[in-house]
Each structure stands twice: as structure tokens, then as C-alpha cells.
Structure 1
């Protein structure tokens, strides 16, 4: 018997983009469960966070079997039932690799764990299928053909609609596509990668051929650089902050780095970025950082984290900043941070953009990067608005751009 729908979905003004080469439309901002949902936040507060996100246009929820040892999936599954959300309104993703228990076959990307892990994730989520299932990390101990075939088996069984990768190298993703093409199987449609103002090389340079050759999508995590780009560490490490209380190596290493001379230089740059956000854009530096990632042409969705409902509402103010990211502002950001990757050498030939067009020219279906007119700002043809529809272009610039 179908579950009663208690809460109807209204996308509000959330832009939607296609996830890579697939037909799946995903919201520009989604919500992730890492550390918080099922971890530091359990019970009714989880419901409040997800309900707030859903009511503000977020209908995509990212998870993993390893998040809080499976409890994150359990919490999200419970909340979906309790809120009475229609399954077809939702985009649910999960990831496999680490498993939830110890054992020689309890993790990794063997056919055994991919199949058993997928079934266990669905049980915890109380769902018949997930929309996208990710390989949470590469597995050098398993033949790539076995991995590709196993994820295709999961799709054939109807347990997932698509599969994708997370933190894979460009070479590994290329190999998966090659094998899928050779065997007439489904290739990964997206990569879940770290991408923020301070970490750009992989997403913007290493994956560049994958965007061009396969229209690879990205579901971006750590857009706020673990909290650095919120400005909360501008005056030291607060006692109740993640860097102060978390004991995982990635957090202790980051805390230690901030105390080094290089870390102090970085904080000064973030202070300058904070001043730019507040004085010229009238927003928080966190809003600027999220909008900056969202405007990147390769970004399909930016995964938000939240431990309280108000965090979701505040983060979505980044949508208001997007149209303000005109070329002059972007140049000032680069002047402060200096993190733009060096382009591939052209050996004297005319420089091309990441998608094969002349630098400075737009292309239908992609974000306009360098339009001198301010009508569209950072948004372009890659954004699919559910409500309202995109405005008709009246651009009078002579840059030859395609909005």
C-alpha cells in the first residue's frame, strides 16, 4: 500500500542542473549526512533539518554506509517515512566502500561487498532503490572490470538508477569508462569531489578531459574548506569548533597547519576575503564561498552540511550572491587567494577553455564565465529553473556569448 504523502515538494527558486550526461536533474544545493545526521545530530533534530531543507527546495540527500556506521542512513530513512515524503520527489544517494563492520569482505569494492552493501544500505534507508550509488573510494585490490560489472548488476536489479565515483583519480574514472564502453555497460555519471576556493587543481584541471569527453558531473563536498571559509577561524580555533573537538587525523592536521607560518598567511587571506564579502557583496564569506563553487561550470550540486535547521536557511543565501559574481569580483578573489590552477601548456597555440571553445566565449548548456553584462551574472544555460523560468536574454555585450 502506497505511503500517505504528508508534505508536497515545492522547488521554490532552486536552480536544477543535469547530473553529468544523465537525464537526472539535481538541485544546485543538496544536503549531506556526513558527521552530523545520525552522528552529532540524532532524533527529532534530524527531522527538523531535513524538513527545513525540503521546504526550501532541497530534495537531494547524500549519504554513505560509513556515515556514523550506518546510523546516518537509518536516520534519513526514518525521517522520510515520518515526514511522508513522496519517493519520486526525492533524490537519494549513498556510497559504498568502508562498510559498517570488520571483516575481510566487509568493505572495499569487490562484487561481494558492492552487492551486499547495496542491499544493507537500502534496508537502513527503508527504500526500494537509491537514485545514485557511489564507489566511495577507489579500490586498487579489485579489477576495474569487476567493479564496473558489479555496479551494473546493482542497476539491473533496480537497487540504483545510476552509479558514480568519489575521490577517484581522472585515470581511474577514464579506465571505468573505457571498460564500460568496451563491454557495453553503464559508466559512472559523476564524481563526488572536494572543491573549494583553496583546493582547485583536481576539480578544475585534472578532471578537465573528463568533462569534455564524458560530460562528467560533480557532486561537490567541502565547499567551505572544513569551516575555514566561514571565517570562524580568523581569530583562532574556538573551543567548540570542529577543529577543536574532532579527533580524526584530517581535523588535527588542519588545526596544526593553522598554527604554522603558512597557516597564518592563509588566515590573513581569508580575512581579506571576508572583508570583500562583507563590504562589496554585503554577505558572509561563507555565502561567497558557496556561491563561488556553485557557479563553476562543472558543478552539478553543492553538498551542504548542517547541524541545525537555521544552518540550511543561512547557507541557501548563497543563491542571492550568485548573480553578484561578475568578472571584476572574481578577479579580486583571485587577487586575494591566487589559487587558480596553471593552465595546460599550449606550446604557442591559441588558448582554449575547458570545453574546447575560445577562452572568453560561452556555449549553450554551460555556465557563462566571462560575460561583461551584469544581467545574468554567474548563471547561464546550465541552470534549469523549475520556478520561475529563466529570463529571456537581452544581453547587449559584444563578447559573442551564448546565454
Structure 2
């Protein structure tokens, strides 16, 4: 182990035995015993959620460009142009909105902001206007604030969202290295492109590239498992699109821990690229999977967590009296792995509920069950001087397992309000978190171990 440390950190006692160049290089280490340890990451991949990794973003913030990732016209060699592009990106990452941090997604090298923009409502989902000018303003505000993740899905707003985002990115002409685009391959037995066959996956990726007008997609996620398709075919197809350069990484959405482990096992068996992220629901009233199972998956196989919720995706009203029913009626607590389903059938039911006032009896019972807790949390948010949504965002990001939380916004005011919630994170100290735990009284715990001998 000591030899491993020596390979990256050096040793002041042995520096004099090396060449003069090595001695000069390690001189600063000999003078200062508190030489920073993060350089050990030369020998191993960084842990995803360490905020100390922010020091790797240090660098010049001047040079050509506007500080937002746009490289200005620079006369000179290609090396000079590249240097100015890197400097502009570093300047943008050094001056994000308060509370924005950058973390590795899973145990990969991909750096993402701790909040991303879920574009379902932005491009005309429930509560969205569908206006492209408004959507462009929201995306520009997110980018200028330091958000570098834009999440899409063919299930949310059809193919229109990818087409509109492609036009916006083309007009803005941002440096491609400064943002991350994620999209999903959606499995639904009622659509024309059924299943998750190799044919469907490859065709979906190629179609998304055309709509987005991009040369590659950063992350493609498989939305729900196809029980009729072998897992080997799915992982081999994802490995193929990555090897072709169309996709950089792949992940899953609304998969159970067992399904994720099965995919990982198949990837190792057939020498395929493993998934790096699971996109799952996480909020004050749904905690079991993100808090019990996702940290275990991260530590064992390196799968990170990109979280979304009915609050942060922009599904709630700005008024407190409407927010409780709107938020709680969007969730179903019957399935511990998928309490809210992003499917075409269920999104249609949301429109029916809004338009015709239709409600299910079970939904009303659930709303009554959680309404008291919601009112108490809302009262606590009022005492803190924030909204319920802002408190929910800050509370979710207190969980170190959440490497990226997707926010939703139909306009720039909603996005700005959500981003302000990041400043509440330092205020959620131990006593405040204990108060929230007392109100919720829903901290998940693993069932006790049962001996197989006792069952006989």
C-alpha cells in the first residue's frame, strides 16, 4: 500500500536519491508537510460525492469567451484556442449559482451539477406552456446558473422535446463539453416500437441523435425493463451504441435493485460497458429505495443516483393550500420501487384529472393520510422563510447518495425559486433534520434477518 502512495504522492525522504528533475518537482512537498492528499486520485477513480474534488476545477477564468462556456473568436494556433476554451469553462464552473456543486456521476469520470433540469414541464408537460421561447429562456437560465444536465425522455413529451432542445442548443452554440444531455429509451407494450430489442434500441438512439442535432448523447437510460427481452440482448445493444460513439454512458430508470444487479452481472460476463446511474424517485414521502438500496449499489458496483420527485419536477402549485393535494395525489405508494410512473397511460390520467376533475378513491385516501404531515412540513418551511418545494429540494440534496437532483420548471420564475432552495442546505443542521424526521416518521429500515433454519 505504501508503494501505491509513493507512485502518486512521492516521498520527501527519497526525493534526494532521484534525479534533479524529480527533486525539483518534489521540492514543494519537502517544504510543506501538509501537501494536499487529493493527488492520490492519479492512481484510482475519485469517490463521486466528495466536495473536495472542487479544487480540480481551479484554473484561469479569463481569456477569450464570456465566462459561460462560450469561446470567443481567438486568433492563433489550435493550442491557443483549446487553452481559451478550457479557461472559459473553468471560469463558468468557478462562478455558478450559490449551492451548485459538481460531482462524479456514479463511479465514472463524468462530472455533473448536483441539480439538473428535467425538461418534461419545460417542453409542455403538466403545467408547462409548450412555448419554445419560454423553454429556451428556462434552459439558458439553467445553463448560466451552472446547471449542466438536461434530462429528456421520449415518454414525457414525445419526440417534440428532443426536437426543440436540439434547435435551442444549435442556436445557443454552447461548447459541447459544458453540458450533459440525457435521454431515455422508453419501453411500453402499447407503442409501435415495442420492447427493448437490439433493433429498437439502435433505432431509438439514431432517431434521438437526428432530433437533437448532436454527434453523441451523453447518457441513454433504459426506462423500465422489458420482461420479454433477454438482459443479454439489452446490455449488448447498449455496448454497441457506445462502441460506435453515439452514446458515452448508459444507465437505467425505474429498475429494481435486482434488475440492476442482473444487468451488471451480464455486462461483466460478456465484457460490456456497465451502467453508471439509476434514475429514481426520491422525496420526503418516498425514501426506501434511495436510502436503503442505492448506497449499496453504489458501493458494490458503482451505480450512482439521479433523483427526481413530484415536487422538484414542477408538479406542484405555488399556493400551499393547493400544493398538498396536487403533490400527494400524483403518487401511488403501493409499489416501493416505483411510486410514480412516467408512462403514457398515467400521464393521460393526469390530464383527465385536471380537465374533468376525476379522482380515484384510493388517491383521496392517500391524500388524507399524508396531508397532516404535509401541513407540518409546510409550517416548518414557513418558519424558515422558504416554500415547501425549496425545503424539499434542500432536504433531498442532504442525502450524499443523490449526485444529481432533477428540477422541473415551466418558466424562469419557477426555476429561479427552485435554485434558491440550494442555499437552504447549510441551514438543515442536525436539529432541523431531527425535527423533519419527527414530523415524517417514515425513516426506512431493513427488515430483520430471518434464519433459514428457523423457517424449517
Normalising by the smaller structure, the TM-score range is: 0.7 to 0.9
Give 1:183 shift. Answer: 1.6
1:186-233 CA-to-partner distances (Å, cap 9, x unmatched) read: 111010001111011121123343122113211111152776876746
- The TM-score with structure 1 as length reference comes to 0.76
Match of 2:8 in 1: none
Q: Alpha carbon RMSD of aligned pairs, Å?
A: 3.0
Shift of 1:98: 4.1
**Structure-2 change in CA distance of 1:215 and 1:344 (3 Å):** farther
Is 1:63 the counterpart of 2:152? The answer is yes
The number of aligned residues is 338
> Structure 1 pair 247/163, CA: closer, same or farther in 2 (3 Å)?
closer
Aligned mates of 2:310, 2:324 — CA distance in 1: 19
Match of 2:306 in 1: 219
Match of 1:75 in 2: 164
Contact 2:250–2:276 (8 Å) recurs in 1: yes
Post-superposition shift, 1:177? 0.6
**Match for residue 399 of structure 1?**
none
Which of the two has higher C-alpha Rg? 2
Q: How far did 1:342 drift?
A: 1.8
Superposed, 1:28-43 pairs within 5 Å as 28-39=114-125, 40=128, 41-43=130-132
Give the counterpart of 1:53 among 133, 142, 146.
142
Report whether the alignment pairs 1:26 with 2:112.
yes
Deviations 1:246-299 (A, max 9, x none): 9633674995468735422412211110111121x2221211100111121211
Is the 1:198–1:225 Cα contact (8 Å) retained in structure 2? no
Deviates more, 1:213-222 or 1:122-131: 213-222
Structure 1: runs of 5+ lacking an equivalent: 348-403
Aligned counterpart, 1:382: none
What's 1:365 paired with? none
Q: Please give the alpha-carbon distance, in whole angstroms, between the structure 1 residues aligned to 2:321 and 2:194.
A: 39
Farther off after superposition, 53-62 or 203-212: 203-212
- The residue number in structure 2 matching 1:319 is 422
From 119, 124, 142, the equivalent of 2:206 is: 119
Cα gap change, 1:289 to 1:75, in 2 (>3 Å) = same
CA distance in 1, matches of 2:315, 2:155: 24
Matched, 1:182 2:285: no
Counterpart-to-counterpart distance in 2, 1:218 and 1:342: 19
Check if 1:260 corresponds to 2:364. yes
**More displaced, 333-342 or 204-213?**
204-213
TM-score between the two structures when normalised by the length of structure 2:
0.68
Residue equivalent to 2:376 = 272
Alignment CA distance shift 1:254-1:152 (3 Å): farther
Q: Hey, what's the Cα distance between the residues in 1 that align with 2:358 and 2:399?
A: 25
- Does structure 2 retain, via aligned residues, the 8 Å contact 1:193–1:203? yes
Contact 1:16–1:28 (CA<8 Å) still a contact in 2?
yes
**Superposition pairs for residues 51-200 of structure 1, below 5 Å?**
51-98=140-187, 102-103=191-192, 106-200=193-287
Q: 1:118 to 1:228 in 2, by over 3 A?
A: closer
- 1:37 Cα deviation (Å)? 1.3
Question: How far apart, in 1, do the equivalents of 2:290 and 2:136 lie?
Answer: 33
SS in 1 for 2:159: helix
Match of 1:57, SS state, is coil
Distance 1:186 1:344 in 2: 33
* Contact 1:38/1:74 (8 A) holds in 2: no
**Aligned partner of residue 266 in structure 2, secondary structure:** helix
Tell me if structure 2 keeps the 8 A contact 1:274–1:284: yes
Tell me how far apart the structure 2 counterparts of residues 345 and 237 of structure 1 sit (CA, whole Å): 34
Preserved contact between residue 234 and residue 267 of structure 1 (Cα < 8 Å): no
Q: Does 1:248 align with 2:352?
A: no
Q: Distance in 2 between matches of 1:174 and 1:236?
A: 37
Distance in 2 of aligned mates of 1:197 and 1:254: 26
Moved more, 107-116 or 227-236: 227-236
Q: Distance in 2 between matches of 1:254 and 1:228?
A: 17
Gaps of 5+ in 2: 1-69, 73-84, 331-345, 451-456
- Relative to its length, the structure with more helix (as a share) is 2
Deviation at 1:101, TM superposition (A): 9.8
Q: SS of the residue aligned with 2:321? A: coil
* Distance verdict in 2 for CA 1:208–1:88, change over 3 Å: closer
How far apart in 2 are the matches of 1:324 and 1:81? Answer: 40
